[in-house]
Amino acid sequence: MAPWWGQEARGGGVSGGGTPVVVKMQTPDWAISEVPPPGSPGAAGGKDGRGKNARQITWVLLLKAHRAAGKLTGAASAALSVAAAARRRVAAGRTDSDADADADGAPREESPALRARFYGFLRAFLLFSMLLLAVDVAAHAQGWHLPAAVPDLEDVQGLFAAAYGSWMRARVAYLGPALQFLTNACVVLFMIQTADRLILCLGCFWIKLRGIKPVPNAAAAAGKGADDVEAGLQDFPMVLVQIPMCNEKEVYQQSIGAVCNLDWPRSNFLVQVLDDSDDVVTSALIKEEVEKWQREGVRILYRHRVIRDGYKAGNLKSAMNCSYVKDYEFVVIFDADFQPQEDFLKLTVPHFKGKEDVGLVQARWSFVNKDENLLTRLQNINLCFHFEVEQQVNGAFLNFFGFNGTAGVWRIKALEDSGGWMERTTVEDMDIAVRAHLKGWKFLYLNDVECQCELPESYEAYRKQQHRWHSGPMQLFRLCFMDIIKSKIGFWKKFNLIFLFFLLRKLILPFYSFTLFCVILPMTMFAPEAELPIWVVCYIPATMSLLNILPAPKSFPFIVPYLLFENTMSVTKFNAMISGLFQLGSAYEWVVTKKSGRSSEGDLVALIENEKQPKHLRVGSAPNLDSLAKEESRPKVDPKKKKHNRLYRKELALSFLLLTAAARSLLSVQGIHFYFLLFQGVSFLLVGLDLIGEQVTE
């Protein structure tokens, strides 16, 4: 039967006769296959028709072959580029332990002694697994791997046979049961974590279905209309806006400019730029930017601390001790890379009116560089789930969640009642949130109010950020555990804080992820007496990844890289968790996450509109050429502190361990285990070679 585009449409002629009318569809010439009239040479399978069809098929096949060759060429080119980058990394020899500080002088995220011990353990584990692989291959060649062959080994002469027989009996009697017990324990923790994630997703679905969201007081919302110019200033409470920053030359202009353009009566809000920079050039540029906005009539102050006691917490604490703070009712915090929309205050502050027990209103983050590279895409998946599901569900049903440290509005009374900012941990935002919750204050989360910011684009910056985010909660748990027990909040709130908020999501998650997929799974290949079910290796992780990716549906093509990368990051998270829990290494050091200064689409539009205005009406934050010229005249940064891609030894060691276990799994004919170990090993290898994220031109 001819295809639809080559069929004839037959009907009566114009004069009503029986002459057939052929209607040709508008299709490419190579796709047109007309059915010839009866009796013609090409009718009924004539030679001309067959020749024409053969030529069409030939052209289609050639076109497909050309496309396939193009894809293969692209894949080969990408593989060669990756191989060349890997060779450069190895030749350069720069590792995660070859420098005492990064490009801006920030300290390491862990001590050299702790790093050496952990790396030594992984290296010994790797050597042991390679030895076992060699022994198992030799035994497999002799047929000794079969269970029935274990008793027969006693009759075989030779030291190797005796040693292998002893190893087999030890596996059956001791190693197998112990490993199986640890496997079962991790599987139980895994199932609890899966249930928690599923409940959160169901809660989010219920919120969407019922349209549940915080609603401001009707009078407050009406008083903040865009056309309500004549509304009294009493409808606009006094707001203090704080921008803490430290050596963030790339982003200070856009953040200060966005905050100064907030739609709020200028007499009713004050901006504090809290500069902890130790770079003289950066401090001078920030101060000049503040003075420029002061000349525009904005109430903005510049504060600089020479001694950075307490890092960000100390900076905020120092600013709150100013005498004029008592004149303000609310305080808003924006990190240096955050760019709030003009109506941010009008969308958040009204939620406090008539709700005296509300201490915090948190907005959602959005990211200007989420599509910059694979690393930022994978981070976006995690953070979309965090804000869309975790924060929204906890805010709607528990009125409690972890403060995100920025893009939030605090009632100053709640801060003071909770003890103010404390420098005892590196997660001062979570610390103040827990203490405020213990005092009975409620939190509101606004999922439809977004504030744009940046994601770390390099693996080094992301790794340091994750180390701080996972060591800090364990520090805080040690410090506030007894306070939670002694507090007057209800039993279920204590249970939520201790078991769900701290233990399950901050301790158990990195523990079982690392132990189950990076230790137990490879060991079960060398000790088959302990079995890890296929549904634990494949189906449950796939389901978890699917749930995590639901809030970011455009990221579905990255579901497999996301699953592998999360397991890869479990090494850093597990190490950080242990460091914070037992106060090891530099658990109390603060490392500022490097920014690249990405501008949002809104910034570009505002800049274009600003250029159209008369010069005396412009309020944008354009770069000062004199300042830039002065900066260029400064001595250049020491090239030894230049940013580089590095080799990460722990990730590389685990890569070879997993690949060794994958090779061993072939002897046991464990198909799904082999593929999981293979791809996970390759994932560790790519991360260990720093081939994910920003690539620095050497």
The alpha helices in 261-302, defined as continuous H runs, are 280-295
The region of weakest confidence among 406-410, 420-424, 601-605 is 601-605
Residue 339 near residue 267, CB atoms below 8 Å: no
How much of the chain, in percent, has pLDDT values that exceed 70?
Answer: 72
Residue 330 pairs with which residues in a beta bridge? 239, 411
The pLDDT confidence band at residue 605, using thresholds 50, 70 and 90, is very low
pLDDT tens per residue, range 544-581: 899 999 999 999 999 999 999 999 999 999 989 998 88
pLDDT at 662 over 90: no
Alpha carbons 13 and 156: distance in angstroms, whole number? 96
Alpha carbons 244 and 277: distance in angstroms, whole number? 10
Residue 313 near residue 405, CB atoms below 8 Å: no
Pairing of strands 239-245, 269-275: parallel
Residue 326 near residue 413, CB atoms below 8 Å: no
pLDDT number for residue 697: 61
pLDDT number for residue 127: 82
The pLDDT confidence band at residue 232, using thresholds 50, 70 and 90, is low
pLDDT number for residue 586: 56
Q: Considering the chain, what is the average pLDDT of its residues?
A: 80
Average pLDDT of the residues in 233-261? 91
The region of weakest confidence among 5-19, 77-91, 182-196 is 5-19
Alpha carbons 209 and 213: distance in angstroms, whole number? 11
**Residue with the larger pLDDT of the pair 12 and 260:** 260
pLDDT number for residue 97: 63
Average pLDDT of the residues in 330-347? 96
| 508 closest CA partner among 201, 196, 190, 197 | 190
429 annotated active-site? yes
Percent helix, percent strand, percent coil in the chain, to nearest 5: 60, 10, 35
Average pLDDT of the residues in 177-201? 92
Alpha carbons 296 and 300: distance in angstroms, whole number? 10
**Tokens encoding 602:** 């809104």
Q: How many CB atoms lie within 10 A of CB 607?
A: 15
Rank 139-148, 467-476, 660-669 by mean pLDDT and report only the highest: 467-476
pLDDT tens per residue, range 412-421: 999 999 999 9
Residue given tokens 């904005």 in the structure block: 298
Give me the catalytic one of 276, 335, 337, 690: 276
Task: For the chain, give the longest Cα–Cα distance.
Answer: 103
Rg (CA), the chain: 32
**Residue with the larger pLDDT of the pair 153 and 115:** 115
pTM: 0.79
pLDDT tens per residue, range 21-68: 444 444 444 444 444 455 444 444 555 566 667 777 888 888 888 888
pLDDT tens per residue, range 520-535: 998 888 888 888 888 8
**Tokens encoding 168:** 């087999």
Average pLDDT of the residues in 242-262? 93
Write out the E strands in 417-568.
442-453
Residue 502 near residue 431, CB atoms below 8 Å: no
pLDDT number for residue 280: 92
Alpha carbons 291 and 211: distance in angstroms, whole number? 45
pLDDT tens per residue, range 279-290: 899 999 999 999
The pLDDT confidence band at residue 107, using thresholds 50, 70 and 90, is very low
CA dist 82 → 78, 299, 656, 695 (Å): 6, 51, 18, 11
pLDDT at 214 over 80: yes
Residue 418 near residue 432, CB atoms below 8 Å: yes
276 annotated active-site? yes
pLDDT at 222 over 70: no
Rank 170-179, 255-264, 647-656 by mean pLDDT and report only the highest: 255-264
pLDDT at 607 over 50: no
Write out the E strands in 14-150.
none
**Tokens encoding 609:** 């509109």
